[in-house]
């Protein structure tokens, strides 16, 4: 088992992830149907991304306070601490965060996005009050909109004799409306209370970061192609697995699903589902 974990870790390191090993696409049992008892709620949930860096002073001051306030806006939205490869980067960098950052064209940190759309008011400096209001308005609008599709899921854990945890996620995607185009479903692993440095905080190490994006399952930044031109009532089942280091606190692990619609080479947000606490 230990050798298997080390092999998977080398794959994850190649992809730019330092802490997690993800099963290959073949090992993830993508053809195995999910539990048919999984319910899919006809609700909309937003995703708040804070594009940030641990060497960024504003990220640890007003950006930190704004994040805490937006986190409290649940259950309409979930929060994702998103650490891309940028000029203030040091901790928690992932290829997925970098891909999202690049697609949105983020140029300053922190930057907040809701549902993969930047929420900026920076004509003369950063208008924090305005940006916060923009985020909340985008969340409220999505909550009130017609639900196109959603994901239901259940998570199970097993631990081997050497202490390594395996998390398995059975999912069901359901479309509630007739839709045209290509729809992708991404599954992501988050860690709450992730310990790391943050400029503007004392001590410089040992700060708890909130709901940090750690890895995309199967290494897919926007997930897999789930359906093309889906009709109302269509469902797709999929199972994911990932092996974690044995010293990982599983109670701090969270799962996030995002449904994306691909438009040319770009992806637009459709809906999200999470077990974020």
Write the burial class of residue 6 (CB in 10 Å: 0-12 exposed, 13-18 middle, 19+ buried).
Answer: exposed
The 10s digit of each residue's pLDDT in 222-274 is 999 999 999 999 999 999 999 997 767 889 999 999 999 999 999 999 999 99
Domain boundaries, the chain: 24-42+147-274, 46-144
> If you average pLDDT over residues 192-211, what whole number do you get?
88
pLDDT tens for 180-200 read 999 999 999 999 999 999 998
- Asked if domains 24-42+147-274 and 46-144 share a fold, the reply is no
What is the CATH code of the structural domain delimited by 24-42+147-274? 2.60.40.10
Instruction: Report the alpha-carbon distance of residue 219 to residue 49 in Å, rounded.
Output: 19
Q: What per-residue confidence (pLDDT) applies to 32? A: 43
- Distance, CA of 159 to CA of 20 (rounded, Å): 16
Q: Count of CB atoms within 10 A of residue 123's CB?
A: 8
pLDDT at site 36: 59
CATH 2.60.120 assigned to domain 46-144? The reply is: no
């Amino acid at each position: 088992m230990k050798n298997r974990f080390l092999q998977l870790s080398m794959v994850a390191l190649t992809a730019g992830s330092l802490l997690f090993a993800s099963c290959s696409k073949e090992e993830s049992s993508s053809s195995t149907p999910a539990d048919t008892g999984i319910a899919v709620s006809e609700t909309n949930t937003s995703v708040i991304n804070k594009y940030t860096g641990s060497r960024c002073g504003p990220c640890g001051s007003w950006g930190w306070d704004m994040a805490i306030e937006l986190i409290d806006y649940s259950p309409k939205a979930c929060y994702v601490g998103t650490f891309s490869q940028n000029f203030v980067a040091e901790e928690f960098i992932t290829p997925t965060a970098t891909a999202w950052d690049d697609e949105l064209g983020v140029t300053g940190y922190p930057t907040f996005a809701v549902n993969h759309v930047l929420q900026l008011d920076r004509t003369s400096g950063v208008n924090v009050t305005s940006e916060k209001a923009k985020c909340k308005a985008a969340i409220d609008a999505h909550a009130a909109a017609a639900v196109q599709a959603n994901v239901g899921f259940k998570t199970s854990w097993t631990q081997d004799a050497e202490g390594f945890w395996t998390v398995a996620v059975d999912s069901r995607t359901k479309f509630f409306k007739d839709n045209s185009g290509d729809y992708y479903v991404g599954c992501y692993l988050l860690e709450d209370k992730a310990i790391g440095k943050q400029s503007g905080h004392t001590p410089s190490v040992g700060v708890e970061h909130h709901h940090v994006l750690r890895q995309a399952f199967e290494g897919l930044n926007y997930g897999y192609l789930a359906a093309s031109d889906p009709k109302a009532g269509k469902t797709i089942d999929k199972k994911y697995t990932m092996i974690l280091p044995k010293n990982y606190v599983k109670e701090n692990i969270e799962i996030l699903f995002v449904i994306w619609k691909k438009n040319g080479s770009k992806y637009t947000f459709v809906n999200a589902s999470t077990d974020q606490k």
